[in-house]
Amino acid sequence: MVQKDVCKHLLNDDYILEFKKKMEPCSCDTFVALPPATIDNRIIFGKNSDRPCDEVQEVVYFPAAVHDNLKEHLKCTYIEIDQVPETYAVVLSRPAWLWGAEMGANEHGVCIGNEAVWGREKVCDEEALLGMDLVRLGLERGDTAEKALNVIVDLLEKYGQGGNCSEGRMVFSYHNSFLIADRNEAWILETAGKYWAAEKVEEGVRNISNQLSITTKIDREHPDMRNYAKQRGWWDGRKEFDFAATYSYLDTAKMMISPGRYCEGYKLLNKHKGNITFETMVEILRDKPSGINMEGEFLTTASMVSILPQDSNLPCIHFFTGTPDPERSVFKPFIFVPNISQLLNTSSPTFEPEDSVEKKLQFNIKPDRRHPLYQKHQQALEILDNKTEKAKTMLDNMSKLEKELFKEMESILQNKHLHVDKTVNLFHQCTEDEIRIYKSNVSS
């Protein structure tokens, strides 16, 4: 839930300075479960995006495209990069002020989520590609998880990562880790500046949070990663190389037992190991005692769960909230089909081209980016906070809508039959139904 007493002071200079002093590294949890940890031979992906509490996150769709004029550069959040001949259709959950995305999927069943990580390597202050830009680029250019990984590390080498990851005057910069999944496997990619290590995950469960987590199982790596660590005195070149221990300050022997969201997320995954469904993943993302469903100056501003059947004849189904606090949001399904309707209810207002990121940061301008679903959801939260009978009715109606959607999606997977004409408007219709619930209770 957005804490209004915190959010209304975010632009106050004294508050920003105090916030930066107190702020612990925090932002997001991403999960994947693969057979035999799941049922029905599916891979389940999930992520909570934890961001500044007044930030709006939108859910947007971009169709596949062919780019004939490769002389034109692609403008990302801060810098321009080379375009490629073809990009894939993507659905993204992203902070509405930037080009990239916190999480999303493409038409080939690739899903990516990223995390903020810090370590021994200094975070670059210069503007480059944000980790969120790399999420979108990996989805637009990679039709498998490993190809998306290749896209990200190649762009990282060519353009670097850096820049403010927050809109406004608060400076929030970090390196990135990524969880990349498709119908067959998953990859963990963790970075420290331009250096990186990757771990392939072919079965079981895996999660990432705001710390490096790749230890000695390294399946791919930057060619100079070990030599650089040796030069800096972080590794003696003799003992077994541990990426997380070398590039951060972690005692990796205690990583699975120390308190924190990474360890708590791992416990929740293993608690359900062997019986994990997409409903299980939804419940993990809603878990508040673990801190995974975050509240405070940083909170869970949006959530995503994806079903990736290993049977290529079945569609991948991606659920997005597009609103804060998954415990009080509806997970709504999206399926890639031709001619998808634009997602108007979760698309934020657009502004003039001259309303650049740089200009907004310079003059501390924060436009009203609330999309229609976000606006109605925030109005509804005021009722839910009062815990009246009206609040209970609203939550019951939200739960009923979500259960009906889950049942409908499960029927598609079990019966192997998809109504394409209906699916074109699937996500849009779901947001209409959710807004209708909010309106009926807010106005009554």
10 Å Cβ neighbour count for 371?
Answer: 24
From the list 28, 263, 316, 430, the catalytic residue is 28
Please tell me the distance from the alpha carbon of residue 241 to that of residue 218, in angstroms, as a whole number.
9
Which amino acid, residue 20? Answer: K
**Paired tokens of 439:** 């309106």
Nearest to 314 by CA among 339, 340, 338, 335: 335
10 Å Cβ neighbour count for 196?
Answer: 26
10 Å Cβ neighbour count for 421?
Answer: 9
Q: 181: part of which helix (H) or strand (E)?
A: strand 175-181
Contact of 156 with 134, CB cutoff 8 Å: yes
**Paired tokens of 313:** 């004849």
Three-state DSSP at 201 gives strand
To the query of whether residue 7 is one of the catalytic residues in this protein, the response is no
Please tell me the distance from the alpha carbon of residue 37 to that of residue 415, in angstroms, as a whole number.
23
Distance of CA 116 to the CA centre of its chain: 11
β-pairing, 29-34 with 204-208?
A: antiparallel
Three-state DSSP at 270 gives helix
**What's the N-to-C CA distance of the chain in angstroms?**
22
Which residues are known to be catalytic?
28
